Amino acid sequence: MTLPNIFAEEVGGQVIHRINHLSPTSTPKWGKMTVGQMLAHCCVSYEMIYEDIHPKPNGFMRFILKNLVKSKVVSGVPYKHNLRTAPQFLMKETKNFDVEKERLINYIKKTQESGINSFDGKESHSFGKLSNDEWNNMLYKHLDHHLSQFGV
């Protein structure tokens, strides 16, 4: 399944438009995260690309991630509701909606400005080198899943 191209200005704009329809009082259709926590959770994918704040998995864990998790994350198949997430994606503390919203939008814009070609063969935090399509699927699918979770 081919997903919309998050690197395309139109698609990124549509995602940002959806984010802008969230409010601090938006509630999830499923799951336990608040809207601020969800936005912070979505930022983690981008933190792993642009920031050096999350420890990389050790060799054994990376082997497991590449061989058991990667195909589910980078495919075009949508995520099911209430799946378990990696520890660095867990948001337990309260998050500031406005701060997290701005961070996520800025990460999406930065990714678009970098362009899809800068991602081809780029090493991911957990899965090794990914193709343009795999990067696109991973980033778009995660955003779409959580924005749908909050009804936008």
Q: What is the reported pLDDT for 2?
A: 78
Residues of the chain with pLDDT under 70: 1
Instruction: Specify whether the CB–CB gap between 143 and 152 falls below 8 A.
Output: no
Question: In this structure, what token pair is assigned to residue 107?
Answer: 């990460």
What per-residue confidence (pLDDT) applies to 36?
98
Neighbours of 105 (CB within 10 A): 16
Coil, helix or strand for 25? coil
Burial of 139 (0-12, 13-18, 19+ CB in 10 A): buried
Using one digit for the tens of pLDDT, what is the confidence trace for 30-65? 999 999 999 999 999 999 999 999 999 999 999 999
Single-letter amino acid, residue 118: S
Q: Which of 124, 125, 119 is nearest to 55 (CA)?
A: 125
- Which pLDDT score is estimated for 1? 54
Helices 97-114 and 9-20, interaxial angle, to 10°? 180
User: Using an 8 Å Cβ cutoff, are 104 and 91 in contact?
Assistant: no
Is 69 exposed, middle or buried (CB count within 10 Å of its CB: 0-12, 13-18, 19+)? Answer: middle
Given this model, what pLDDT does residue 84 score? Answer: 86
The pTM assigned to this predicted structure is 0.94
